[in-house]
Amino acid sequence: MSLITVTDVRKRFGDNEVLKGIDLEIEAGEVIAIIGKSGSGKSTLLRCINGLETINSGSISVGGAQLLSDDLHLRALRLKVGMIFQQFNLFPHLTAGRNVMLSPMIVKKTPEGEAEPLARKMLERVGLAQKFDAYPDQLSGGQQQRVAIARALAMQPSALLCDEITSALDPELVNEVLAVVGELAAEGMTLLMVTHEMRFAREVCDRVVFMHLGRVHEIGPPEEVFAHPKTPELQQFLGMVQ
């Protein structure tokens, strides 16, 4: 059975239907890139999968947890799937270490004595073991994003959603974040990422999803999607970005 199942998901903002029936099955360990023009619904799809946006119809499940609108089901779903944001969204009043420790301690009731080594391990995994006591505003954008990744990993999710996680970074900081994501992919983490980094998508991803006007327009392994785009929309999109 697939880890993430998206079935005929529709989402409207007022009169504007942003998702017009999305079907997607993602296996455990798969790395998927979602590409497409802005406004094609890629970020909205990601935000629907962990319930940050409510869907108008269709269904979503992650690792057996069904997306329903009540608090209990939402939180059960969010334990299965972590999210990383374009703007990092670290908690500015807490140190990097505390950012990582917070949710395990208050949501999973992990005692502090276990949460701290866990946080150190997660920060080490993203190459920031020495920044445990630094506050977010003392870190570069790339470092902040890596802390955000460590924070999501500390909840031991089955899958990670990455919403344009390098788009707010200075160009020289993009690679340190992509390197961490690449390692996660190699370790077998299930990743669903909206990205503009085509080279990275081509090298790391198992499948690429091209979204256009609220639909999955084309889907396939990167070599196929990038080298032999079937639809004129994808050809045009790739012509623009490459």
Partner 1 sequence: MSEFTLWDILRNLLLAARWTIVLSLAAFVCGGMWGLIVLMLRTGRSPWLRRCAMGYIELFQGTPLLMQLFLAFFGLSLLGFNVPAWLAAGLALTLWTGAFLAEIWRGCVESIAKGQWEASSSLAMGYLQQMRYVILPQALRVAIPPTVGFSVQVVKGTALTSIIGFVELSKASTMLTNATFAPFTVYGFVALIYFVLCWPLSKTSQALERKFNVAHHGH
For residue 225, CA distances in Å to 20, 33, 228, 229, 234 come to 22, 11, 6, 5, 8
Stretch 105-124 residues interacting with partner 1 (CB under 8 A): 106-107
Task: Map tokens 């802390």 to a residue.
Answer: 147
Residue 102 found at the interface with partner 1 (CB under 8 A): yes
Q: Could you say which DSSP state residue 227 is in?
A: H
Phi first, then psi: what are they for 93, rounded to 5°?
A: -90, 0
Minimum CB separation of residue 106 from partner 1 in Å reads 5
Distance between CA atoms of residues 230 and 224, nearest Å:
9
* Residue number with CB closer to partner 1 (105 or 225): 105
Q: Give Cα 66 distance to the centre of its chain.
A: 18
Residue of the chain from 42, 125, 131, 151 that contacts partner 1 (CB under 8 A): 151
CB 88 within 8 A of CB 141: yes
* Residue number with CB closer to partner 1 (163 or 218): 163
Residue 92 found at the interface with partner 1 (CB under 8 A): yes
Alpha helices per DSSP H over the chain:
42-49, 71-80, 96-106, 112-125, 141-153, 171-186, 198-204, 222-227, 232-241
Residue of the chain from 11, 42, 78, 146 that contacts partner 1 (CB under 8 A): 78
Helix or strand holding residue 105 (H, E): helix 96-106
Q: Which residues have a Cβ under 8 Å from the Cβ of 132 and sit 6 or more positions away?
A: 95, 96, 97, 119, 120, 123
CB 222 within 8 A of CB 211: no
Residue of the chain from 40, 43, 95, 103 that contacts partner 1 (CB under 8 A): 103
Residue 71 found at the interface with partner 1 (CB under 8 A): yes
Which residues face 163 on adjacent strands? 194
- Binding window for partner 1 (CB under 8 A); candidates: 7-15, 24-32, 84-92, 194-202: 84-92
Residue 85 found at the interface with partner 1 (CB under 8 A): yes
- Binding window for partner 1 (CB under 8 A); candidates: 102-110, 188-196, 200-208, 217-225: 102-110
Residue 82 found at the interface with partner 1 (CB under 8 A): yes
* Residue number with CB closer to partner 1 (57 or 156): 156
Minimum CB separation of residue 9 from partner 1 in Å reads 18
Residue 87 found at the interface with partner 1 (CB under 8 A): yes
**Closest by alpha carbon to 1, among 33, 28, 31, 30?**
28
- Binding window for partner 1 (CB under 8 A); candidates: 77-85, 120-128, 139-147, 172-180: 77-85
Tokens of 232: 């004129």
Q: How many residues bind partner 1 (CB under 8 A)?
A: 25
Residue 64 found at the interface with partner 1 (CB under 8 A): no
Q: Which residues bind partner 1 (CB under 8 A)?
A: 50-52, 71, 75, 78-79, 82-83, 85, 87, 89-93, 102-103, 106-107, 137, 148, 151-152, 155
